[in-house]
Amino acid sequence: MSKAAQQRRAAVLRAIVADYIASHEPVGSKTLLERHQLGVSSATIRNDMVALEKEGYIVSQHASSGRIPTDKAYRLFVDTLDEIKPLSVAERRAISSFLEGGVDLEDVLRRSVQLLSQLTRQAAVVQIPTLNVSRVRHCEVVELTPYRLLLVLITDTGRVEQRNVDIANPCSPGTASRLRELFNRALAGKTLSDASVSIAELAEEAPSDIRDVVIRCATVLIETLVEAPSDKLILAGASHLIRGEFPEGLPPVLEALEEQVVVLRLLAEAQELGHVRVHIGDELHGASIVATGYGPDTPFGSMGVVGPTYMDYAGTISKVSVVAQYVSRVLGGN
């Protein structure tokens, strides 16, 4: 095939994908002739469509209907996007203002997924920074009752984790401050994974009068935060998925979001700052995820949008990128 024919066939495929994204209706040769200046006859376009179907880029739902793009076509379409739709000055100003109103890291992230959902009309997800990559900034110990303590871990990413610890004997005056000193000495500046050995050794170092409570606190820290650090997602706009049409139906997509395992793994693959990654179909059951990393200097996690494969990729990539940039600036104090 000549280079000119290859370029024409590629143009036909781009037109089919663009029209299907815009209309969500199968695209025929007559429609392509009416909407696009392809400079060839209807017969030539039909021949190109037959070839594209053989190559797995388009399929026909019915013998007489038009064609719809496959995941392979969307992949090529995304990989060859020439330009990303820019956001207006007003949109950027609104994003900045809304995110800067966040009171802490989790509030900023909740605001970010609300924004992404509103901007794209799709479901939006963000990964909360995992504890196994965060370093402990401070460990606070609070006496809730004589028989219950509250452990509060604050990380350098702004994440706050709280755990209650029930103790056998009532706390004596000054116990909370002594525990605070012990745990900060073991934890401050370390990831929880790195600090696990220090936590386990605390019982040996602790004075006999508080050894039991130290063991109980250390056990809670190791069992709930070190051995099984929790990956968490914040989700917004799942109701937007109901509007979409998915090859395998909506439930598999919602199940993937609810189980979080697949989504978390795909988000983990998209943590590079300044680079948007697009995953199409397969494990997402006919959906796509557009995601990128966020963080002031190093990635804290990733955020993105989940929607049907016929989403507006150019606009979605732009919006995900811009929101992630503003989140990174806010978390960096800029």
Q: Which residue has the higher pLDDT, 201 or 167?
A: 167
DSSP three-state, residue 270: coil
For 185-195, what is the mean pLDDT? 79
Q: Say how far apart CA 24 and CA 38 lie, in whole Å.
A: 21
Q: Say how far apart CA 75 and CA 72 lie, in whole Å.
A: 5
Residue 192 neighbours by CB distance under 10 Å = 24
Question: Which stretches within the chain are classed as H helix?
Answer: 3-23, 29-35, 42-54, 71-79, 89-100, 105-120, 175-187, 192-205, 211-221, 250-259, 261-268, 313-331
The answer, yes or no, to whether residue 175 has pLDDT greater than 60, is yes
Domains of the chain listed by start with CATH number? 3-70 (1.10.10.10), 89-130+231-332 (3.30.450.40), 135-226 (3.30.390.60)
Q: How confident is the model at residue 247, as a pLDDT?
A: 54
pLDDT tens digits for range 100-152: 888 888 889 999 999 999 999 988 999 887 666 677 888 899 999 989 999 99
Q: How confident is the model at residue 305, as a pLDDT?
A: 93
* Contact status, residue 5 vs residue 51, Cβ threshold 8 Å: no
Residue 157 tokens, joined? 């990413």
Q: Which residues of 105-141 are buried (b: 16+ CB within 10 A; e: fewer)?
A: bbebbbbbbebbbbbbebbbbbbbbbbebbbbbebbb
Residue 137 tokens, joined? 């900034």
pLDDT tens digits for range 195-251: 777 777 777 778 888 888 998 888 888 776 665 555 678 888 877 776 656 555 555
Label the pairing between strands 301-308 and 287-294.
antiparallel
pLDDT band at 34 (very low <50, low <70, confident <90, very high): confident
Which strands, in side-by-side order, build the sheet including 160-166? Answer: 136-145, 148-155, 160-166
Percent of the chain with pLDDT over 90: 26
Q: Say how far apart CA 323 and CA 282 lie, in whole Å.
A: 26
Whole-model pTM above 0.85? no
129 CB-near residues (< 8 Å, 6+ apart): 105, 155, 157, 158, 159, 300, 301
Q: How confident is the model at residue 136, as a pLDDT?
A: 84
Q: Which residue has the higher pLDDT, 244 or 4?
A: 4
Q: Say how far apart CA 187 and CA 183 lie, in whole Å.
A: 6
Q: Which residue has the higher pLDDT, 245 or 61?
A: 61
Weakest mean pLDDT among 71-75, 145-149, 281-285, 320-324: 281-285
Terminal-residue alpha carbon distance, the chain:
54
| Amino acid in position 275 | H
Percent of the chain with pLDDT over 70: 87
Q: How confident is the model at residue 246, as a pLDDT?
A: 56
Q: Say how far apart CA 50 and CA 67 lie, in whole Å.
A: 10
* Phi and psi, residue 323, nearest 5°: -60, -40
Q: Say how far apart CA 68 and CA 47 lie, in whole Å.
A: 16
Q: What is the DSSP string of 135-194?
A: BEEEEEEEEEETTEEEEEEEETTS-EEEEEEE-SSPPPTTHHHHHHHHHHHHHTTSBHHH
Q: How confident is the model at residue 248, as a pLDDT?
A: 52
pLDDT band at 288 (very low <50, low <70, confident <90, very high): confident
For 299-305, what is the mean pLDDT? 90
* Contact status, residue 293 vs residue 324, Cβ threshold 8 Å: yes
Residue 226 tokens, joined? 């070190």
For the chain, the average pLDDT equals: 83
Secondary structure letter of residue 56 according to DSSP: T
